[in-house]
Structure 1
Amino acid sequence: MEGRFTTEYLKQLHRIFFVSREIDRLEREFIKQGIAHFHVSGAGHESTALLNEFLHDDDWLHLHYRDKALMLARGMPIREFFSSLLATANSHSAGRQMSAHLSSRALNITSIVGPVGNNALHAVGVAASLKYKPGMPIAICCVGDGTTQQGEFLEAVAEAVRSQYPIVFIVEDNSFSISTRTSKQTFFDLPDGPASSFYGIDIIRTDGDDLPASREAFRKAVRHSRNNRTPSIVLLNLERLSDHTNADDQKTYRTLLEIESGSSRDPLPNLRAMLQKAGVSADALEKIEQELTAEVQAEAALARKEDAPEVEPDAKAPYPASFAKTAEYRGLEREATLTMREALNGVLDRQLAANPEVVLFGQDIEDPKGDVFGVTRGLSTKYPERVRNAALTESTIVGTAVGRALAGQRPVAFLQFADFLPLAYNQIVSEMGSMYWRTKGAWESPVILMVSCGGYKPGLGPFHAQSFESMLAHTPGIDVVMPSSAGDAAGLLNAAFESRRPTVFLYPKAVLNNSDGRTSTDLDKHFVRPGLSRYVARGRDLTLVSYGNTVSLCANAAKAFEAQGFSVEVIDLRSISPWDEREVLASAKRTRRLIVVHEDNRTVGMGAEIVATVTEKADVPVVVRRLARSDAHVPFNFRNQLEMLPSYSKLVDLMAEVLECEVTWHEEDDSGPTAAIKAIGSGPADENVLITDLLVKPGDTIEVGQLVAVVEATKASVEICANIGGVVLEVFARIGDQIATDSTLLTVDANRDTSEQNFALASETQNKFVLRRLKSHSIPALRRHSGSFSEIAVSGIGFATGARRVANEDIIHHWPNRRADEIFALTGIKSRFWVGPGEGTLSLATAAVRDLLRQTQMSIHDIDLVIAATGTPDIATPSLASRVAVAVAEDGVRPSLAAYDMGAACSGYLYALQQAYDFIAQQNDAKVLIVTSEVLSPLLDMKDFSTAILFGDAATASLVTTRDMARSPLFAASRPTISGRPEPGDLLFVPLPDEGVIAMNGRAVFTEAVHSMSRSIEDACVDAGIELANLDLLVPHQANQRIIDTIAKRSGRPALSVIENYGNTSSSSIPLAMLHVANERPEPLNLGLVAFGGGMTSGAAIVRTIK
């Protein structure tokens, strides 16, 4: 074999060996100088570099932390070792990984971690993805002798043998696992002597200091695995020529004689001897080594000049840009036919069809079983090579999935129950969660881990009913989701595929086949972004936050409380990491009462995190409670299980406490003679069963234990026997029917001696109750006005106009003796907007509110009060405010808020602004929506020149809050001053639709307007403590230009006019003018808003612009 070691080849090896050794030397120097802090030597392990000769570019390497020489041979730059040592920004991990844990995406060298043995499962996963690749690539897995005792390594070898994957395991045996001697304690060195094989793989043994023999061993192993596509094992006997790390002193556990004798096995002197034998002189060799030393020192010097990294606090990759462009879609309710199980199955089917890199791997997922809950049923038949059963080992399932993901596949791994997550926790925490962060994004691990979870089903217990979501949420780097409905399940699963983030997808087994919460078949459209919650119900009195199984508990309790006069908001988180902090916080601040409900145990559960966040960040008092499982495991006894888990009754009691009510329960009387025999399945996975035989009919007398029916379940045929004796009253199924488990199969007029027996409970009974408010208690969450409140803020103004722009020229034909320019001269109006077909007060108001909500990025559910000011209502009841609130609820959920209309004609905006001020004074964090909507054109008498030329149609919407609550305030306003001088309609009359036309005494109205507005602005200045002379601009109601000019003249202040293109829009005119100021006047201004209107009404407010 030495004949293959040409002089050139030996020089190449020498360069790698010497550079590796020189890197070690400089690293030790940097440690002594305090420049670096951790060092692992590769001295003695250099012969692994011989392996590289036999590797292809598309082979994959999962290396040992002492494999410096092999990394150099593969192409790792010298500087990378020093950049990693010094933890610089340029290093492969930006200073996040320990210095010996290198990786290189370009070289297919995967990331090394501290938990040794983890890489073995990854290597097997990579090898699985390579098995049928063209070019016959292979995976290399290098481990130390101590690592071979790790379960991950032993599982990896077993999986490689079981599935016959192309992988070479190289065991670098230096006889020590730090200080622990490994002789006679490993699979290859047994107590009774060396082993020749392991799991049926022949062990190829060689000494690392014998370079020709080592080379031949590598050649043989690589050729075998590459050609046969099966595993091989090389045992490389080496000498560790250094301390374990700089933190170790091997002299404490090795004798000096042992250390000195070990140096005789140093491969570098042996290589030098081979070079000299090949004709390279000692002087030439010394010169080569001096040049290499200079090269290494130069690279080290450059690394020392590199910048320090910035800390990266987020362990997760950003979501793709497509997420921002994709709207949430949960299916069409009117076409909802698919259960959660069917939806998950359908999404997986579509993903398998669309992407050949998608693979499914887990226990019992192949047909005919198709998963213990049927989630993968039919998929292995359709995709036989990509939907595969796994061995009964969770760490192998997850670890090999990580490897497949590293190699570019999209693995979906299945664990049967969340209770088995701890068996795979090492791979989830150390690998799935950290891969992206620890490699600066060079490597990703987009594994989707599908896990059934939770209780609320008979037949479960410890190890089949846990959820563990808080443990997962505590793990950096992974998304954790738990849907409660089919639409959310499909949307979240599609998002997980698109996001490429590692995701643990927890699906509650108890709702997999629920008829409630179904979704439509257009599964490819479903999309739910992780981190966004869903409102199940809207309310004002209390917020319930939940996810998974407990969402239905919350929804049912909320409905029951609604029937007794309370308004309860229910939020389904759906996503646990990330979780929707923004919506939960906003809801808790609105209701000031929060209960978090989850079935994971209480201590350090998600409830604690949510409550702590709300307590820290809410700027209002919030009463908080948690309802969770106690810190014990879920029992098998179902009654005990329901007592342990959050239940309907416990939730109702807690809600009553928070709402300061007394609850009286009315339990159902089930002690009568009529009893039910219910359908059962073969196990907790069965949701439905098929009736194959019925052995009784109405009128039959049955005894306890008598066979009454036979059903076909997923696992087996099941006999149903009577649990009570008596006369059969009614049978609710026929042979061939498929019915839900726990549904009533037949009823029995029970015998007295059996009717009082305590039969097995199949579900919690949600009994009725009555609430009574405890009047002696105050509402602690309501914060009253303290006296320091002085200003409100207008944070946005939306508007809408009629669709038709009507110029003076368009209407002048109604008055043959008039001219278009005459209209402008009399009124200052050139055009106005009138409604078109299909438009009205409601449609304009809705458009204006939508404009505002878009600007402020808010929802109607964020609003506490809607006041609609209109003089032209189209109907009396419901109010315009109520109908607008419902119309703009995009989620289809009815808002829970106060809403009413008011009629103050053209002064309506200022009247509403005063009411908003007073409401906010009592509830400082409230958000008030003021809507103005006027449709006057259908009420015009086109024969009446003096009125027909004036009016236009428009609507506005203004968001009003305190200054502190406003995100981007436009105006700050003092409390408006309102007044009036009532009259019966002689001066101005506006009829209801189809009941007449507008009539106005123009001259009298002019006089009233000038006097009332002049008085109102003066009163408002006094109330606000400002001189009239200090107002920069008056913003009067845009009645007509003559009134505007007269007010300006009487007050001595300039007055804004925007009437030219809008006409008189009644209550909408002032907010339209304010919008003009916000858009066109950038300087800070003191404004005087002033109005008058039919009735007669008047009002004014002092407002400051905020820039």
Structure 2
Amino acid sequence: MDLQDLKHLYRAMYAARCVDRVERELTNRGEAFFHVSGAGHESSACLALHLNEHDWLHCHYRDKALMLARGLTAKDFFDASLCKDASHSRGRQMSAHMSSPELHLLSIVGPVGNSALQAAGVAAAVREREGSPVVLCSVGDGTSQQGEFLEACAEAVRSTLPVLFFVEDNRYAISTQTRGNTFYSRPDGDADEFYGMPIHRVDGRDVVAVNQVVGDVVAQMRQDRRPVVIVLDVERLDNHTNADDQTQYREQEEILAAADGSDPLFNFRSHLLQQGLSEEELAAIEKSVQKEVRQAEEDAIAGPEPAPIFDAKKAISVELTHPSRENHGEGAPALTMREALREVLRNHLQDDARVSLFGQDIEDPKGDVFGVTKGLTTQFGARVKNAPLTESTILGFSIGRALAGERPVAFLQFADFMPLAYNQIVSEMASMHWRSDGGWSSPVIVMAACGGLRPGLGPFHAQSFESLLTHTPGVDVFMPSTASDAAGLLNAAFASERPTLFLYPKSLLNDPANRTPALVADQFTPIGPARKVRSGRDVTFVSWGNTIKLCEKAAQALEAVGVESEILDLRTLSPWDEHAVIASAEKTAHLVVVHEDNHTCGLGAEISATVAEKTRVPVAIRRVTRPDTFVPCNFANQLEVLPSFRRVLTTAAELLSLDLSWIAPPVPEAGSAMIEAIGSGPADESVLVVDLLVKSGARVERGDAVASLEATKSVFEITSPVSGMLEEILVSEGDTVAVGAPLMRVRLPAAERRIKPVTQELPGEPVLTRKPSRERLRVPRRTTEIRQFEVGVSSIAALEGSRTIGNEELLALLGNSGQMTAEDIVRRTGIESRQWINTQEDAIGMAVKASWEALDRENLIPDDLDLVICTTTSPNSVTPSMACQVLAGLSRGKTSGAMLQAFDINAACSGYLYALQSGYDYLQSKPDGKVLIVTAEVLSPLLDPNDFDTAILFGDAASASILYGEGCMSHAQGKLFRPELSAKGDSGSALTVPLLREGYIQMHGRKVFSEAVRTMVGSLTRVCGREGMGVEALNLVVPHQANQRIMNAIGNRIQTEVFSNIRTHGNTSSSSIPLCLADVLPASKKGDRLGLCAFGGGFTFGAGILEAL
């Protein structure tokens, strides 16, 4: 050391002692409340002479002198002691837990051993950076026995990391003596090395000796980049803290002896005098330091107090949270959740050199126990790295990388192992931004498979722990239930730069029903907003992860009695979408929260409490959760313990006052057994049949291999669970079959029945019925006691295109070339012919003719009307509206025709019901009024001859009906009950109808079919329930004539006759119901009740009741 170094070092050591003295005074005066002395440890300041701006320091809390020598000021310490706004943590951290990103001083916390794994992670990140950085990890002798410290030593050796483990040994861990009880001071004597690291010892009382050892070690580390241990032998010259009294466990003689000759500051001052510095020079330094320290004290005392903050997370842009940012990609569904996660990781590894993956078994060839990272090591090498079998190392090491500016992804095999890493998650990752006021950030993404509901899982492989994790401030917690949300949320986690716990249900990883498009780079799920899986008005299900499927299944069952369920998939659990949940609960007044985590203090309790506190109307609430127990491996027991379809539906039925019984599933016949497909792991949804090893008619014995199957994890042989004759093979080589599907049938001895283990929930078929109203749970709902005016419907005039197109002619027009026959069209649609317009006809002309016919029948003129509503899917123009053009046509060339309201409705095939509701509502304010309802649908010009499945459906037709208010009911042929309507947003992927001459109708038939049947039956059941009747009380159901298969499916779900005239009309969109009523209404008897229901693009749907008069 030259003279300047000597003075700098003494100044720092003396300043540390002065700061100690003032902190003690502040505490004694009651202005500060906690004080940690560094007296006796000041020689660690020697490190500052050898560590440069490229190096990183994780200091011991007694390293005041070192931190001052590094660049902190006395005021920094006093601001921290007084918890002032100017402190590094804005008053959040305890004193001595210092931090300075500018100086690479990492944030100190109470669990002091946490620093070691972070130091290893930082070292891994900076090892090859400019200046050959060294990372200091300074700890006490007590901390050196922390398991995570020892793990850090192992990782530093394993990965050859330049970490200087600097153990400041004062022989006391508060009151516990450590001599002979550490890795370097064992009962059998002192160790010379640890895990292959050399152990250097130096007397901390001798500053010159310390400087020599530290200088040599650091210089060597810059060369060989290897970890080293230095043990600094020191005396603690004060109590542990101001809250401690060392005289209770140290003899007075020991304390006095420690002070005599063991003070490094006194010893160093003596050395400086011996080296030629004068007493006057040292006194001048001391006087200057004293003045600076006292001024710093006054400045800190005068400083402002911090304001409290109520969020521990880094603020993020609205771009990351706004629902409008949601993007699930374009193209056909292609990737499962497992594949989507892998591709998102691949994209970020390609685009950002800071990204790395660290976890157990994630390297190729295995590529994670569920295959999520398969192929990534091959492409990205050491950036996708296997971790040792220790979750705390995975987390702590990743946090260190993040602190050094990298974007690590930490993989835990199962969420069940989260407790092993919980210290690093809660104490470090979660609190880092908050405790450093944003100075440090730890944007680690922790990925872990979670959840049960699959055979083979049990305790320690089937938990989710989301309540524990969401209880932790400072972290985002995600749990997707679809591949698109998995991709979108993982992209959001990278974009947010916030610490994120990303839980993915292992049983959904290979779910083929929830694939996402292959291009995942732009897929994005905003942080916070829930996903509305389906809309409803009777009950709200709130869930996430595995249990979303159970809620969907329960909602489908509830449709049978007209219950409309709303399902919200939270997907982001912290933050969770309070607004959406509260709004839905207020709408339905019934809430069921379903989750796999256990009951007490589960997230469902938080959601329930929030709804109870914040809703403006009473809401009946139930939870379906795991009882406060663990997940058993016995799958039958697991289905009883975890939420199941049966439990979810039973809970909802009780909440909604429905009676529920079950038709038991059939018992397998004696003398026969099925060999069913199995997977190799809990994530397998399907398997590939690679080889069939037996033939039909062969004798198989229990344990004989019968087929070779390929699953996610491996290719394996499935063996027969029974002995018998192989009666039938139900699959072929190359087939992909669902896990649990039958592969082969084996004939057993006549009386023998195989007892098969439970592998899936088979509760049977639910039978739901409504209880009498007196037994129902009473929940206040918004109602009106005002009697509504009656509304009547006139006879209906209908007009179709004049050109009859039979199936044979249609096939010729479409250039079918013999691929399909006329009978094929009938089988697929029920249509034999349809009416199209000719070149002289158009929608307006047909609509005007139908309107005049209706007016003439009712002996009315246009001036008698109060409102014209035209519903159309194929308008001639946007402006003027079709309704105004019809009104012009009714003027018959007059320059000034009738003056009345006129507008269009575009609700596709549901348009007639939408128009009926609009007219009904209008007539409530004008009970003596008359409304003309017009439908005008000309779809044949919009048919694509190359889209056979769509082109065979549609016809052209118009209709006109008169609605009468109560004052004119004597003219009506039917009494209208107000229709129930709804809609569900669609981007246009299922059904689109362009403007004329701007394209063709496009339809996704399978999706439309399932939505149509579900929503029409649900709407019909709802409107009947509102009127106090069941669907079976209707005399006839008149649905929109979309497709005979849809109408057959409706008929199979209800106990009422369904009318159809599609055979000779085709699908005429919103004109189809009035075309039916033109035949049905005149033939109906007085009192007959007709159920009307429709479904259309958009999606729109609804139902109404018409009673014949």
TM-score by length of 1: 0.73
Q: How does 1:244-323 map to 2 (within 5 A)?
A: 244-263=240-259, 264-323=261-320
Letter in 2 for 1:195: A
Matched, 1:622 2:571: no
Question: Retained in 1: the 8 A contact 2:869–2:934?
Answer: no
> 1:597-634: CA deviations, max 9, x gaps?
10111111111111111111112111111111111111
Query: Is residue 109 of structure 2 the alignment partner of residue 113 of structure 1?
Result: yes
Match of 1:681 in 2: 679
Q: 1:319 to 1:312 in 2, by over 3 A?
A: same
- In 2, distance between residues paired with 1:482 and 1:218? 48
Which of 713, 721, 724 is the aligned partner of 1:723? 721
Partner of 1:212: 208
Cα distance in 2 for partners of 1:635, 1:171 equals 45
Residue equivalent to 2:175: 179
Alignment of 1:617-766 (within 5 A): 617-673=614-670, 674-713=672-711, 717-755=715-753, 757-766=754-763
Aligned counterpart, 1:368: 365
Give the 3 Å change call, closer, same or farther, for CA 575–978 of structure 1 in structure 2: closer
Partner Cα separation in structure 1 for residue 619 and residue 958 of structure 2: 53
Secondary structure in 2 aligned to 1:874?
strand
**Per the alignment, in what secondary structure is the counterpart of residue 359 of structure 1?**
strand
Distance in 2 of aligned mates of 1:982 and 1:458: 65
Residue 47 of structure 1 contacts residue 209 of structure 1 at CA under 8 Å; is this kept in 2?
yes
Q: How does 1:936-975 map to 2 (within 5 A)?
A: 936-940=884-888, 947-948=896-897
| Residue number among 27, 32, 35 corresponding to 2:28 in the alignment | 32
Q: Secondary structure at the match of 2:562?
A: coil
2:113 paired with 1:165: no
Matches of 1:242 and 1:622, distance apart in 2: 61
Q: In the aligned structure 1, how far is the partner of 2:338 from the partner of 2:866?
A: 51
Cα deviation, 1:806-846, whole Å, max 9, x if unaligned, reads xxxxxxxxxxxxxxxxxxxxxxxxxxxxxxx9999x9xxxx
8 Å CA contact 1:871, 1:934 repeated in 2: no
Letter in 2 for 1:302: D
Q: What per-residue deviation string (whole Å, max 9, x for no partner) do you get for residues 938-963 of structure 1?
A: 42157755525967866899xxxxxx
Q: Is the 8 A contact 2:168 2:231 kept in 1?
A: yes
Distance 1:786 1:248 in 2: 71
Tell whether the 8 Å contact from 1:330 to 1:519 is kept in structure 2 after alignment.
no
Q: Which residue of 1 aligns with 2:535?
A: 538
Distance in structure 2 (CA, Å) of the matches to 1:979 and 1:741:
62
What's 2:346 paired with?
349
The Cα of 1:688 is off from its aligned counterpart by 4.3
The Cα of 1:451 is off from its aligned counterpart by: 0.4
Summarize the alignment of residues 1002-1041 of structure 1 with structure 2, pairs less than 5 Å apart: none
The residue number in structure 1 matching 2:89 is 93
* 1:839 to 1:451, Cα distance in 2 relative to 1, 3 A: farther
Residue 325 of structure 1, CA deviation: 6.8
Q: How does 1:883-894 map to 2 (within 5 A)?
A: none
Q: Name the SS of the counterpart of 1:752 in structure 2.
A: coil
Shift of 1:460: 1.2
Q: Distance in 2 between matches of 1:505 and 1:990?
A: 54
Q: How does 1:426-465 map to 2 (within 5 A)?
A: 426-465=423-462
Cross-structure match for 1:565: 562
* Counterpart Cα distance in 2 of 1:90 and 1:290: 26
Separation of aligned partners in 2, 1:531 and 1:981: 50
1:233 and 2:182 equivalent?
A: no
Selected match of 2:74 from 61, 73, 78: 78
Query: For the Cα contact (< 8 Å) 1:357–1:410, is it kept in 2?
Result: yes
Q: Is the 8 A contact 1:486 1:517 kept in 2?
A: yes
Quote the residue 1:190 is aligned against: 186
- Look up the SS of the partner of 1:356 in the other structure: coil
Structure 1 distance, partners of 2:323, 2:712, is 38
SS of 1:416's partner is: strand
Separation (CA, whole Å) in 1 of partners of 2:874 and 2:868: 12
Asked if the contact 2:871/2:904 (under 8 Å) is kept, the reply is no
Distance 2:427 2:408 in 1: 18
Residues 281 and 489 (structure 1), Cα distance of their counterparts in 2 relative to 1, 3 Å cut = same
Q: CA deviation at 1:59?
A: 0.8
Range with bigger deviation, 724-733 or 333-342: 724-733
For residues 993 and 463 of structure 1, the distance between their equivalents in structure 2, rounded to whole angstroms, comes to 63
Q: 1:155 corresponds to which residue?
A: 151
The amino acid that maps onto 2:647 is: K
CA contact (8 A) 1:330 1:488 kept: no
**Stretch moving more, 939-948 or 8-17:** 939-948
Is residue 660–residue 766 contact of structure 2 (8 Å, CA) maintained in 1?
yes
Tell me, in whole angstroms, the C-alpha distance in 2 between the residues paired with 1:991 and 1:656: 42
The CA deviation at 1:307 is 0.5
Matched, 1:552 2:500: no
Q: Which amino acid aligns with 1:638?
A: F
Count of residues paired in the alignment: 848
CA distance in 1, matches of 2:308, 2:500: 24
Matched, 1:481 2:430: no
Indicate how the Cα distance of structure 1 residues 567 and 993 shifts in structure 2: closer, same or farther if over 3 A, else same: closer
Structure 2: distance between partners of 1:217 and 1:409: 32
Residue 978 of structure 1 and its aligned partner are, at CA, apart by 4.5
Q: Name the CA distance, whole Å, in 1 between partners of 2:887 and 2:626.
A: 64
The 5 A counterparts of 1:489-568 are 489-568=486-565
Q: CA deviation at 1:933?
A: 9.2
Structure 1 residue 766: Cα displacement:
4.8
Structure 1 pair 208–697 and aligned structure 2 pair: CA distance change class (3 A): same
Whether contact under 8 Å (2:561, 2:770) holds in the other structure is no
Cα 1:220/1:288, change in 2 over 3 Å: closer
Deviation at 1:741, TM superposition (A): 3.2
Distance between the aligned counterparts of 1:708 and 1:955, measured in 2? 65
SS at match of 1:780: coil
Match for residue 597 of structure 2?
Answer: 600
Q: Give, in angstroms, the shift of residue 683 of structure 1.
A: 3.6
The correspondence for 2:415, drawn from 414, 418, 421, is 418
Secondary structure of residue in 1 paired with 2:584: helix
Identity %: 48
SS in 2 for 1:51: helix
Provide closer, same or farther for how the CA distance between residues 770 and 85 of structure 1 changes in structure 2, counting only shifts above 3 A.
Answer: same
Deviates more, 1:780-789 or 1:739-748: 780-789
User: Does the 8 Å contact 2:328/2:516 carry over to 1?
Assistant: yes
Q: Which runs of 5+ in 2 are unaligned?
A: 788-841, 848-864, 907-921, 938-956, 961-1109
- Corresponding residue number in structure 2 for 1:781: 779
Q: Could you tell me whether the CA contact under 8 Å between 1:611 and 1:624 is conserved in 2?
A: yes
CA positional deviation for 1:997:
15
1:692–1:736 Cα contact (<8 Å) kept:
yes
Closer/same/farther in 2, CA of residues 717 and 996 from structure 1, 3 Å limit: closer
Distance 1:217 1:740 in 2: 67
Aligned to 1:133: 129
Q: CA deviation at 1:40?
A: 0.5
Shift, 1:875, TM fit = 4.2
Measured after TM superposition, the shift of residue 131 of structure 1 is 1.8
Between the aligned partners of 1:84 and 1:990, the Cα distance in structure 2 is 76
In structure 2, give the amino acid aligned to 1:936.
C
SS at match of 2:247: helix
C-alpha deviations, 1:21-68, integer Å up to 9, x for none?
A: 000000001111111100001111111111111112111101110111
The alpha carbon displacement at 1:727 in A equals 3.8
Shift of 1:739: 3.8
